[in-house]
Amino acid sequence: MQNELCDRLGIEFPIFAFTHCRDVVAAVGKAGGFGVLGAVGFTPEQLAVELDWIDDHIGDKPYGVDIVIPGKYEGMGELDPVKLEAELQAHIPKEHRDFVSRILAEHDVPELPEDEKMHELLGWTAATATPQVETALEHEKVRLIANALGTPPPDIIEEIHETGRLIAALCGRADQALKHKDAGVDIVIAQGTEGGGHTGEIGSMVLWPEVIDAVAPTPVLAAGGIATGRQMAAAMAMGAAGVWTGSLWLTVEEADVPPAQMESYLSATSRDTVRSRSWTGKPCRMLRNDWTEAWAQEDTPDPLGMPLQFMVTSTAVQRGHRYPEQAREVMFNPIGQIVGRLDRVRSVKEVIYEMVEEFVEASEHLGRILED
Protein backbone atom coordinates (compact mmCIF):
# COMPACT_ATOMS: atom_id res chain seq x y z
CA MET A 1 0.00 0.00 0.00
CA GLN A 2 3.00 2.27 -0.08
CA ASN A 3 2.70 5.24 -2.42
CA GLU A 4 4.30 8.66 -2.90
CA LEU A 5 2.19 10.28 -0.19
CA CYS A 6 3.11 7.56 2.31
CA ASP A 7 6.78 8.06 1.50
CA ARG A 8 6.44 11.82 1.83
CA LEU A 9 4.91 11.57 5.31
CA GLY A 10 6.83 8.52 6.47
CA ILE A 11 3.80 6.26 7.09
CA GLU A 12 3.01 2.67 6.18
CA PHE A 13 -0.64 2.95 5.14
CA PRO A 14 -2.48 5.90 3.52
CA ILE A 15 -5.17 5.76 6.20
CA PHE A 16 -5.75 9.18 7.78
CA ALA A 17 -7.73 9.23 11.03
CA PHE A 18 -9.40 12.44 12.18
CA THR A 19 -10.24 12.39 15.88
CA HIS A 20 -10.54 14.64 18.91
CA CYS A 21 -8.90 11.98 21.09
CA ARG A 22 -5.14 12.02 21.61
CA ASP A 23 -5.07 8.30 22.49
CA VAL A 24 -6.50 7.48 19.06
CA VAL A 25 -3.93 9.68 17.31
CA ALA A 26 -1.07 7.88 19.01
CA ALA A 27 -2.53 4.40 18.42
CA VAL A 28 -3.17 5.11 14.73
CA GLY A 29 0.39 6.31 14.23
CA LYS A 30 1.87 3.25 15.93
CA ALA A 31 -0.32 0.98 13.78
CA GLY A 32 1.02 2.49 10.56
CA GLY A 33 -1.64 5.10 9.77
CA PHE A 34 -1.67 8.87 10.21
CA GLY A 35 -3.62 10.33 13.12
CA VAL A 36 -4.95 13.89 12.97
CA LEU A 37 -6.06 15.67 16.14
CA GLY A 38 -9.01 18.05 15.85
CA ALA A 39 -8.01 21.32 17.54
CA VAL A 40 -11.46 22.93 17.74
CA GLY A 41 -12.48 23.25 21.36
CA PHE A 42 -8.92 23.57 22.67
CA THR A 43 -7.27 26.77 23.80
CA PRO A 44 -3.65 27.05 22.58
CA GLU A 45 -2.52 26.08 26.07
CA GLN A 46 -4.77 23.02 26.19
CA LEU A 47 -3.68 22.04 22.68
CA ALA A 48 -0.04 22.21 23.73
CA VAL A 49 -0.76 19.75 26.55
CA GLU A 50 -2.48 17.34 24.14
CA LEU A 51 0.34 17.53 21.58
CA ASP A 52 3.02 17.10 24.24
CA TRP A 53 1.23 13.91 25.34
CA ILE A 54 1.06 12.62 21.77
CA ASP A 55 4.76 13.37 21.27
CA ASP A 56 5.53 11.27 24.34
CA HIS A 57 3.37 8.31 23.27
CA ILE A 58 3.58 8.06 19.47
CA GLY A 59 7.24 7.13 19.26
CA ASP A 60 8.96 8.35 16.10
CA LYS A 61 5.74 8.44 14.07
CA PRO A 62 4.31 11.62 12.50
CA TYR A 63 0.83 13.02 12.99
CA GLY A 64 -1.29 16.03 12.08
CA VAL A 65 -3.56 18.73 13.49
CA ASP A 66 -6.94 19.81 12.10
CA ILE A 67 -8.10 23.43 12.44
CA VAL A 68 -11.22 25.30 11.30
CA ILE A 69 -10.92 28.60 9.45
CA PRO A 70 -14.04 28.91 7.28
CA GLY A 71 -13.84 30.72 3.97
CA LYS A 72 -16.67 32.96 5.16
CA TYR A 73 -17.93 33.70 8.67
CA GLU A 74 -19.24 36.47 10.89
CA GLY A 75 -16.47 38.80 12.11
CA MET A 76 -13.94 38.08 9.38
CA GLY A 77 -11.01 40.49 9.53
CA GLU A 78 -10.83 40.85 13.32
CA LEU A 79 -7.79 38.93 14.55
CA ASP A 80 -7.97 39.75 18.26
CA PRO A 81 -9.86 36.82 19.84
CA VAL A 82 -11.02 38.86 22.86
CA LYS A 83 -12.36 41.71 20.76
CA LEU A 84 -13.95 39.31 18.28
CA GLU A 85 -15.75 37.33 20.98
CA ALA A 86 -17.12 40.51 22.56
CA GLU A 87 -18.20 41.86 19.17
CA LEU A 88 -19.97 38.64 18.20
CA GLN A 89 -21.69 38.20 21.55
CA ALA A 90 -23.43 41.52 20.96
CA HIS A 91 -25.04 40.08 17.80
CA ILE A 92 -26.55 36.97 19.42
CA PRO A 93 -30.32 37.30 19.96
CA LYS A 94 -31.55 36.57 23.47
CA GLU A 95 -34.20 34.21 22.07
CA HIS A 96 -31.49 31.83 20.86
CA ARG A 97 -29.87 31.63 24.28
CA ASP A 98 -33.25 31.19 25.92
CA PHE A 99 -34.12 28.41 23.50
CA VAL A 100 -30.92 26.50 24.31
CA SER A 101 -31.56 26.90 28.03
CA ARG A 102 -35.10 25.61 27.63
CA ILE A 103 -34.05 22.49 25.70
CA LEU A 104 -31.44 21.59 28.30
CA ALA A 105 -33.80 22.27 31.18
CA GLU A 106 -36.53 20.11 29.64
CA HIS A 107 -34.03 17.24 29.54
CA ASP A 108 -32.77 17.84 33.09
CA VAL A 109 -29.19 18.55 32.03
CA PRO A 110 -27.48 20.24 35.01
CA GLU A 111 -25.77 23.61 34.80
CA LEU A 112 -21.98 23.72 34.71
CA PRO A 113 -20.05 24.71 37.81
CA GLU A 114 -18.80 28.28 37.44
CA ASP A 115 -15.14 27.24 37.47
CA GLU A 116 -15.67 24.85 34.52
CA LYS A 117 -17.22 27.33 32.10
CA MET A 118 -15.07 28.09 29.06
CA HIS A 119 -14.90 30.76 26.40
CA GLU A 120 -17.66 30.54 23.81
CA LEU A 121 -15.30 31.21 20.91
CA LEU A 122 -12.81 28.34 20.54
CA GLY A 123 -11.76 27.72 16.96
CA TRP A 124 -14.05 28.48 14.00
CA THR A 125 -12.21 31.75 13.09
CA ALA A 126 -8.78 32.91 11.96
CA ALA A 127 -8.43 34.81 15.24
CA THR A 128 -8.72 31.64 17.31
CA ALA A 129 -7.24 29.10 14.89
CA THR A 130 -4.02 31.01 14.13
CA PRO A 131 -2.66 30.54 17.68
CA GLN A 132 -3.57 26.85 17.38
CA VAL A 133 -1.47 26.62 14.21
CA GLU A 134 1.46 28.31 15.95
CA THR A 135 1.19 25.84 18.82
CA ALA A 136 1.08 22.88 16.41
CA LEU A 137 4.15 24.09 14.53
CA GLU A 138 6.13 24.06 17.77
CA HIS A 139 5.86 20.25 17.72
CA GLU A 140 8.33 18.57 15.39
CA LYS A 141 6.30 15.40 14.87
CA VAL A 142 3.36 17.40 13.50
CA ARG A 143 3.86 16.99 9.74
CA LEU A 144 0.48 18.12 8.43
CA ILE A 145 -2.04 20.87 9.18
CA ALA A 146 -5.53 20.37 7.75
CA ASN A 147 -8.27 22.97 7.44
CA ALA A 148 -11.78 21.59 7.77
CA LEU A 149 -13.73 24.42 6.12
CA GLY A 150 -12.66 26.54 3.18
CA THR A 151 -9.31 27.44 1.66
CA PRO A 152 -6.81 28.40 4.36
CA PRO A 153 -5.71 32.06 4.41
CA PRO A 154 -2.53 32.78 2.39
CA ASP A 155 -0.50 33.73 5.46
CA ILE A 156 -1.37 30.44 7.16
CA ILE A 157 -0.35 28.44 4.08
CA GLU A 158 2.91 30.37 3.83
CA GLU A 159 3.72 29.91 7.53
CA ILE A 160 3.14 26.16 7.33
CA HIS A 161 5.17 25.74 4.15
CA GLU A 162 8.06 27.75 5.60
CA THR A 163 8.43 25.09 8.30
CA GLY A 164 8.52 22.27 5.74
CA ARG A 165 5.11 20.90 6.66
CA LEU A 166 2.24 20.00 4.36
CA ILE A 167 -1.20 21.60 4.40
CA ALA A 168 -4.46 19.91 3.47
CA ALA A 169 -8.01 21.22 3.12
CA LEU A 170 -11.41 19.59 2.90
CA CYS A 171 -13.94 20.29 0.17
CA GLY A 172 -17.37 19.14 -0.97
CA ARG A 173 -17.24 20.38 -4.59
CA ALA A 174 -14.74 20.39 -7.44
CA ASP A 175 -14.67 24.20 -7.66
CA GLN A 176 -13.70 24.36 -3.99
CA ALA A 177 -10.94 21.83 -4.66
CA LEU A 178 -9.56 24.01 -7.45
CA LYS A 179 -9.43 27.00 -5.09
CA HIS A 180 -7.43 24.87 -2.67
CA LYS A 181 -5.00 23.85 -5.40
CA ASP A 182 -4.58 27.39 -6.71
CA ALA A 183 -3.84 28.60 -3.19
CA GLY A 184 -1.00 26.09 -2.80
CA VAL A 185 -2.71 23.41 -0.71
CA ASP A 186 -0.65 20.19 -0.85
CA ILE A 187 -3.44 17.64 -0.27
CA VAL A 188 -7.11 17.99 -1.14
CA ILE A 189 -9.60 16.01 0.95
CA ALA A 190 -12.82 15.34 -0.97
CA GLN A 191 -15.61 14.61 1.50
CA GLY A 192 -18.94 13.31 0.27
CA THR A 193 -22.22 14.11 1.93
CA GLU A 194 -22.26 10.72 3.69
CA GLY A 195 -19.46 11.86 5.98
CA GLY A 196 -19.80 13.06 9.54
CA GLY A 197 -19.31 16.66 10.56
CA HIS A 198 -19.48 19.45 8.01
CA THR A 199 -20.40 18.18 4.56
CA GLY A 200 -21.80 19.34 1.26
CA GLU A 201 -24.58 17.71 -0.73
CA ILE A 202 -22.67 15.63 -3.31
CA GLY A 203 -22.28 11.88 -2.75
CA SER A 204 -18.81 10.39 -2.44
CA MET A 205 -18.95 8.17 -5.54
CA VAL A 206 -19.73 11.25 -7.66
CA LEU A 207 -17.49 13.68 -5.83
CA TRP A 208 -14.25 11.73 -5.60
CA PRO A 209 -13.52 11.30 -9.34
CA GLU A 210 -14.67 14.87 -10.05
CA VAL A 211 -12.16 16.27 -7.60
CA ILE A 212 -9.37 13.84 -8.52
CA ASP A 213 -9.66 14.83 -12.18
CA ALA A 214 -9.99 18.54 -11.41
CA VAL A 215 -6.85 18.95 -9.29
CA ALA A 216 -4.50 16.32 -10.76
CA PRO A 217 -1.65 15.77 -10.02
CA THR A 218 -2.35 17.16 -6.53
CA PRO A 219 -3.00 14.13 -4.28
CA VAL A 220 -6.59 13.66 -3.13
CA LEU A 221 -7.78 11.83 -0.03
CA ALA A 222 -11.25 10.32 -0.31
CA ALA A 223 -13.58 11.01 2.63
CA GLY A 224 -17.21 10.41 3.46
CA GLY A 225 -18.60 7.00 4.35
CA ILE A 226 -15.35 5.02 4.60
CA ALA A 227 -14.91 2.35 7.26
CA THR A 228 -13.83 -0.76 5.35
CA GLY A 229 -11.02 -1.93 3.12
CA ARG A 230 -13.48 -2.46 0.26
CA GLN A 231 -14.48 1.18 0.38
CA MET A 232 -10.84 2.18 0.53
CA ALA A 233 -10.07 0.02 -2.51
CA ALA A 234 -12.93 1.65 -4.42
CA ALA A 235 -11.62 5.13 -3.62
CA MET A 236 -8.06 4.31 -4.60
CA ALA A 237 -9.23 2.56 -7.76
CA MET A 238 -10.67 5.95 -8.76
CA GLY A 239 -7.28 7.58 -8.23
CA ALA A 240 -7.34 8.67 -4.58
CA ALA A 241 -3.97 8.74 -2.84
CA GLY A 242 -5.52 7.52 0.40
CA VAL A 243 -8.54 7.84 2.65
CA TRP A 244 -9.56 10.35 5.31
CA THR A 245 -11.70 8.72 7.98
CA GLY A 246 -13.46 10.12 11.05
CA SER A 247 -16.61 8.36 12.26
CA LEU A 248 -14.73 5.07 12.31
CA TRP A 249 -12.65 6.13 15.31
CA LEU A 250 -15.55 7.02 17.59
CA THR A 251 -16.19 3.39 18.49
CA VAL A 252 -12.65 2.14 19.11
CA GLU A 253 -11.38 1.05 22.52
CA GLU A 254 -9.05 4.04 22.74
CA ALA A 255 -11.77 6.63 22.09
CA ASP A 256 -12.68 8.91 24.98
CA VAL A 257 -16.42 8.40 24.56
CA PRO A 258 -18.84 8.11 27.52
CA PRO A 259 -20.81 4.82 27.71
CA ALA A 260 -24.17 6.46 26.92
CA GLN A 261 -22.76 8.15 23.82
CA MET A 262 -21.00 4.97 22.72
CA GLU A 263 -24.25 3.04 22.99
CA SER A 264 -25.94 5.66 20.79
CA TYR A 265 -23.34 5.04 18.10
CA LEU A 266 -23.39 1.26 18.32
CA SER A 267 -27.18 1.05 18.14
CA ALA A 268 -27.65 3.57 15.31
CA THR A 269 -28.38 2.70 11.69
CA SER A 270 -27.33 4.54 8.56
CA ARG A 271 -30.81 6.13 8.51
CA ASP A 272 -30.33 7.79 11.88
CA THR A 273 -28.19 10.74 10.79
CA VAL A 274 -29.23 14.18 9.60
CA ARG A 275 -27.51 17.25 8.16
CA SER A 276 -28.32 20.15 10.46
CA ARG A 277 -27.13 23.69 11.15
CA SER A 278 -28.31 23.45 14.75
CA TRP A 279 -24.89 23.19 16.38
CA THR A 280 -22.35 25.13 14.31
CA GLY A 281 -24.34 27.25 11.86
CA LYS A 282 -23.15 25.27 8.83
CA PRO A 283 -24.60 21.96 7.55
CA CYS A 284 -23.14 19.22 9.71
CA ARG A 285 -24.05 15.53 9.70
CA MET A 286 -24.82 14.05 13.10
CA LEU A 287 -27.10 11.62 14.89
CA ARG A 288 -30.71 12.77 14.85
CA ASN A 289 -32.01 13.38 18.38
CA ASP A 290 -34.27 15.69 20.37
CA TRP A 291 -31.87 18.59 19.85
CA THR A 292 -31.81 18.43 16.06
CA GLU A 293 -35.57 17.88 15.97
CA ALA A 294 -36.22 20.90 18.20
CA TRP A 295 -34.25 23.26 15.94
CA ALA A 296 -36.02 21.92 12.84
CA GLN A 297 -39.50 23.00 14.00
CA GLU A 298 -41.13 25.93 12.21
CA ASP A 299 -41.89 27.85 15.42
CA THR A 300 -38.31 27.79 16.77
CA PRO A 301 -35.38 30.15 16.05
CA ASP A 302 -33.43 29.64 12.84
CA PRO A 303 -29.79 28.69 13.46
CA LEU A 304 -27.38 31.61 13.25
CA GLY A 305 -24.32 31.75 11.00
CA MET A 306 -20.87 30.49 11.97
CA PRO A 307 -19.42 31.10 14.55
CA LEU A 308 -22.45 32.72 16.22
CA GLN A 309 -24.46 29.50 16.41
CA PHE A 310 -21.70 27.58 18.15
CA MET A 311 -21.23 30.44 20.60
CA VAL A 312 -24.89 29.92 21.48
CA THR A 313 -24.59 26.13 21.68
CA SER A 314 -21.14 25.83 23.22
CA THR A 315 -22.62 25.65 26.71
CA ALA A 316 -24.76 22.70 25.55
CA VAL A 317 -21.64 20.95 24.23
CA GLN A 318 -19.81 21.52 27.51
CA ARG A 319 -22.77 20.37 29.60
CA GLY A 320 -23.16 17.31 27.36
CA HIS A 321 -19.53 16.33 27.98
CA ARG A 322 -19.90 16.98 31.70
CA TYR A 323 -23.20 15.12 32.09
CA PRO A 324 -23.37 12.57 29.23
CA GLU A 325 -26.02 10.35 30.82
CA GLN A 326 -28.49 13.21 31.33
CA ALA A 327 -27.67 14.80 27.95
CA ARG A 328 -27.97 11.65 25.86
CA GLU A 329 -30.97 12.91 23.83
CA VAL A 330 -29.57 16.42 23.29
CA MET A 331 -25.86 15.67 22.80
CA PHE A 332 -23.76 16.84 19.85
CA ASN A 333 -22.97 13.60 17.99
CA PRO A 334 -21.29 14.44 14.67
CA ILE A 335 -21.02 11.18 12.74
CA GLY A 336 -21.53 9.91 9.20
CA GLN A 337 -23.93 7.44 7.64
CA ILE A 338 -21.31 4.73 8.06
CA VAL A 339 -22.44 4.61 11.70
CA GLY A 340 -24.72 1.75 10.66
CA ARG A 341 -21.65 -0.50 10.28
CA LEU A 342 -20.11 0.52 13.60
CA ASP A 343 -21.75 -2.15 15.73
CA ARG A 344 -18.85 -3.35 17.87
CA VAL A 345 -15.88 -1.94 19.75
CA ARG A 346 -12.44 -2.80 18.41
CA SER A 347 -8.93 -1.57 19.06
CA VAL A 348 -7.34 0.92 16.67
CA LYS A 349 -4.82 -1.72 15.64
CA GLU A 350 -7.59 -4.18 14.79
CA VAL A 351 -9.42 -1.57 12.72
CA ILE A 352 -6.39 -0.67 10.65
CA TYR A 353 -5.22 -4.23 10.09
CA GLU A 354 -8.72 -5.35 9.12
CA MET A 355 -8.97 -2.45 6.67
CA VAL A 356 -5.64 -3.34 5.11
CA GLU A 357 -6.51 -7.04 4.85
CA GLU A 358 -9.88 -6.29 3.25
CA PHE A 359 -8.24 -3.77 0.89
CA VAL A 360 -5.85 -6.46 -0.31
CA GLU A 361 -8.69 -8.97 -0.76
CA ALA A 362 -10.74 -6.46 -2.76
CA SER A 363 -7.77 -5.60 -4.94
CA GLU A 364 -7.05 -9.26 -5.59
CA HIS A 365 -10.71 -9.79 -6.47
CA LEU A 366 -10.48 -7.08 -9.13
CA GLY A 367 -7.27 -8.65 -10.39
CA ARG A 368 -8.98 -12.01 -10.84
CA ILE A 369 -11.80 -10.37 -12.79
CA LEU A 370 -9.27 -8.85 -15.17
CA GLU A 371 -7.52 -12.20 -15.58
CA ASP A 372 -10.80 -13.90 -16.44
Residue 296 forms part of a structural domain: no
- pLDDT for residue 227: 96
Q: What is the pTM of this model?
A: 0.95
* Average confidence (pLDDT) over 18-44: 96
Burial environment of residue 39 by CB neighbours within 10 A (0 to 12, 13 to 18, 19 or more): buried
- The whole-number pLDDT of residue 349 equals 98
CATH number at residue 198: 3.20.20.70
Q: Is the pLDDT of residue 222 over 90?
A: yes
- How confident is residue 330, by pLDDT bands cut at 50, 70 and 90? very high
Residue 353, domain member (yes or no): yes
Please tell me the distance from the alpha carbon of residue 308 to that of residue 311, in angstroms, as a whole number.
Answer: 5
Query: For 347-362, what is each residue's pLDDT tens digit?
Result: 999 999 999 999 999 9
pLDDT classification of 180: cutoffs 50, 70, 90: very high
Nearest to 365 by CA among 206, 229, 208: 229
In which domain, by residue range, is 133 found?
4-74+120-275+336-371
CA distance 29 to 304: 38
Nearest-angstrom CA–CA distance, 186 and 182? 10
Residue 151: HSE in the Cβ half-sphere, 13 Å Cα cutoff: 18
User: Is 89 within a domain?
Assistant: no
User: Is pLDDT above 80 for 123?
Assistant: no
Mean pLDDT of the chain: 95
What length does the chain have?
Answer: 372
- Count structural domains, the chain: 1
Arithmetic mean of pLDDT, 43-57: 97
364 C-beta neighbours (distance < 10 Å), count: 11
18 within domain boundaries? yes
